[in-house]
Amino acid sequence: MLQEPLTKTTTRALLEWYDRHHRTLPWRISPADRLAGAMPDPYRIWLSEVMLQQTTVAVVKSYFEAFLARWPRVEDLAAASNEDVMAAWAGLGYYSRARNLHACAKQVAARGGFPTTAEELIKLPGIGPYTAAAIAAIAFDEPATVMDGNVERVMARYFAVTDPLPGSKETLRAHAARLTPRARPGDYAQAVMDLGATICTPRRPACALCPCRPSCQAHADGIAETLPQKAPKKTKPIRRGAVYIAQSASHVLTERRPEKGLLGGMLALPSTDWAEAEPLPKPPFPADWVEIGEVRHTFTHFHLRLQVLTAELAGHPPNALPRAKAEAAMPTVFAKALRLAKPPGS
């Protein structure tokens, strides 16, 4: 077990490393500015943390900057229409995050600002234990224990935890809590995440550059690259369905998915239910529907295979949108299907 003086030495070494090697990200302030008394904007921290769930930093940067340009304050986002927020989110995936983001913005604006503790933050829509701890630590310097995949990997290696994830999560959380300092907890949380993202990487960790190497148990045991262990993944089932593209030369028929459920509230193409059995036909209107191919997409818990059928659309009913506008606002799976279908006469 780590002794307290060694714990403090490790934390200090990690913060010194972060002061020199921190990543520059559009939602952060530098350690130097923070030490000078500046504090991050909680709106930026919250927005970035929600976007970063199940998504990479490289993908999030452009979305974050676009959201911030359009809605620079949480009050602006709260006043936006749900349709605009969902359209701006299109392509980021996990669309319940966008619905919760908008609902959370409304609650924060109504109460006059963000709560400052993890205990209160977790009561807001879409904010779970990790996000609450991250906002509390980074934006308000609460010594909350922040746990994401990077932190889990660092803790598993530093303490040589060989029990597989997800069963070892609470053990790793307890270890992380022991290392979380009361001074500079926000910088410390970002330091551990940066260490996992740049040094203590899943494959070929750069142990020679790691500030924690002198007391890392997995490095001493020569097993760093084998950790963390993970339980075997369950095989994802395959669901099937059909999607109907009714189109003219310039427009395509669209619909809005139900608010609750997968891709809730998003603009979509008419489709059948998605199930492991063969889909029952469900065209939006009688026509000579022609099957033109199949699109495949993977969600968190299943693989999806959609038959794509097309028919010519006569006129422009109210729920027909210009093709480019519809594609830009749709989730990836429907945009894939739309790109497969050439407009009549093309």
User: Catalytic residue positions?
Assistant: 49
Contact 339, 310 (CB under 8 A): no
Where would I find the H helices in 71-184? 74-79, 82-89, 96-111, 118-121, 129-140, 149-158, 169-179
- Whole-angstrom CA distances from 174 to 36, 177, 220, 232 are 31, 5, 21, 24
**84 Cβ contact partners less than 8 Å away, ≥ 6 residues apart:** none
3-state secondary structure (DSSP) of residue 69: helix
Dihedral (CA of 70, 299, 301, 280) sign? positive
Helix H segments across 141-261? 149-158, 169-179, 185-198, 217-221
For residue 245, give both structure tokens: 């593209």
What are 101's two structure tokens?
């983001």
For residue 139, which of 154, 118, 112 has the smallest C-alpha distance?
118
